[in-house]
Amino acid sequence: MEVLRLPLSASQKGKLISAGYTSIASISSTSPSHLALELKVSENEALEILKNVSDGSRLKRTSSSLTVLNGAQSAWDMLQEEETTRVHITTSCADLDSILGGGISCKEVTEIGGVPGIGKTQLGIQLAVNVQIPYDYGGIGGKAIYIDTEGSFMAERALQIAEACSHDMAEYSRLYHKGPQACEVKTMQPKDFLENIFYFRVCSYTEQIALTNYLDEFIPKHKDVKVVIIDSITFHFRQDFDDMALRTRVLGGIALNLMKLARKFGVAVVLLNQVTTKYSDGSFHLALALGDSWSHASTNRIILHWNGDERYAYIDKSPSLRSASAPYSVTPKGIRNSSSNNKRIKHI
């Protein structure tokens, strides 16, 4: 039944099958008015059905390219592409960057989860600032989209981090770019950093789904966007959801949309997640929220946790990185390497 493979609604497929059209060839040979008469639908609908059919069959034309399928890339070409273009966003913490292979990679969906207060939003804001570091300073010179579901984005904190980043860049240029080159390299002001962050605030899960669909149109209009940060993806899905099966389906759809965005536009998608308690093998332990099916939605997964008094990041899932863990700290300047005076303060 080839008709089943077409992206049409169930009622349209039912009408096609009961009128006797089960193969794509038989549909494409009829005219729209004839089809409209047979199926008892409007001519516009018949035109739409035929368009869907012809879109599908257009792919069947064999091309002269080396690959068996149109639109596929050989692994060798992908490797060359990966090795030549710079695709990592630094996190400003050298240890974390080294276990991540340079930073958060573009074209992939990275999920970062942890207990409250561990620094997820801080890491999100740091990435939104770091993506804008110009090419000359080792960054990728892009813009950021920050989708806030919890209301935890503070513009003052972003300004503080941007100031620290700008200060670091000025110092770097003073040390490494001497002579006439120093004048050419432009420095970014903290205000410029904030201007390049597109901020969206969503207040319900339907808004979240709508926004994910809208990004498909938004990103081509703003081609510099290189990172999409969603903080946090769980908030609207945890309360008030009665139908768990619906939640799984909706999350599955969002996950596919985000994967498509990452691949199509070459942006890094960073999802911040909360934790929940799971009971297994007789003990309770912390696991990321949204269930087992969501755990397959991201390409990479990083778990942030406390180890004694220090903050640690652990790579839980990655197709190309080894499992490793690295300490980091949250300072007034943002996320930095861990040092002895940044540990957790215990209140007595």
Partner 1 sequence: MGALNYLTVENASIDADFVQFCASHGIFSVEDFLVHDVYVLVASAEKLSNSDRLKQGINQMLSIIETWHQPWVSGQVLLEDREQNKHCLSTGCKSFDMLLQGGLRVGHVTEFVGPSSSGKTQVCFQVASNVAIKLGSVVFIDSGNSFSPTRIKQIVTRISGSVETWVHGILQQAMRNIECHAVFDVYALLNVLQQLKSSLESQAGYKVRLIIVDSVSSLIAPILGGSNAQGHALIASVGYLLKKLADRHNIAVLVTNHMVSGEGGTLKPALGESWKNIPHVRLQFSRDHATNIYGVYILKHPYMASGGSANFTIP
290 C-beta neighbours (distance < 10 Å), count: 23
Q: Which residues bind partner 1 (CB under 8 A)?
A: 1, 4-7, 10, 19-23, 25-26, 29-30, 38, 56, 59-60, 62, 66-76, 78-79, 82, 107-109, 245-246, 248-250, 252-253, 255-257, 259-260, 262-263, 279-280, 291-293, 295-297, 299, 301, 316-317, 319-320, 323
Q: How far is the CB of 241 from partner 1 (least distance, A)?
A: 15
Phi, psi torsion values for 291, nearest 5 degrees: 90, 180
Nearer to partner 1 (CB atom), residue 228 or residue 335: 228
- Taking the CA atoms of residue 258, residue 259, residue 260 and residue 264 in that order, the dihedral angle to the nearest 10 degrees is 110
Smallest distance, partner 1 to C-beta of residue 126, A: 23
Amino acid at 182: A
Report how far residue 238's alpha carbon sits from residue 247's, in angstroms, rounded to the nearest whole number. 9
* Shortest separation between residue 328's beta carbon and partner 1, angstroms: 22
End-to-end CA distance of the chain: 71
Residue 227 CB, nearest distance to partner 1 (Å)?
Answer: 15
Nearer to partner 1, 17 or 94 (CB): 17
Torsion of CA 96, 101, 102, 106, to 10 degrees: -110
Nearer to partner 1, 67 or 206 (CB): 67
Do the bridges between strand 275-280 and strand 143-148 make them parallel or antiparallel, or are there none, so unpaired? unpaired
Q: How far is the CB of 24 from partner 1 (least distance, A)?
A: 9
β-sheet bridge partners, residue 280: 283
The full DSSP string for 117-141 is TSSHHHHHHHHHHHTTS-GGGTS--
The secondary structure of 128-195 as a DSSP string is HHHTTS-GGGTS---EEEEEESSS---HHHHHHHHHHHHHHHHHHHHHH--THHHHHSPPPPHHHHHH
Nearer to partner 1, 93 or 268 (CB): 268
Residue with Cβ nearer partner 1 (30 or 160): 30
Q: Give Cα 182 distance to the centre of its chain.
A: 36
Q: Please, what is the minimum distance in Å from the beta carbon of residue 290 to partner 1?
A: 12
Least distance in Å: CB of 96 to partner 1?
19
In the complex with partner 1, the residue whose CB is nearer, 201 or 296, is 296
Residue 162 and residue 194 in contact, taking contact as beta carbons nearer than 8 Å: yes
Nearer to partner 1, 276 or 337 (CB): 276
Q: How far is the CB of 133 from partner 1 (least distance, A)?
A: 23
**Closer of 47 and 259 to partner 1 (Cβ):** 259
Q: Which residues does 251 contact at the CB level (< 8 Å), separation at least 6?
A: 237, 290, 293, 294, 297
Closest C-alpha to 129, from 44, 61, 192, 43:
192
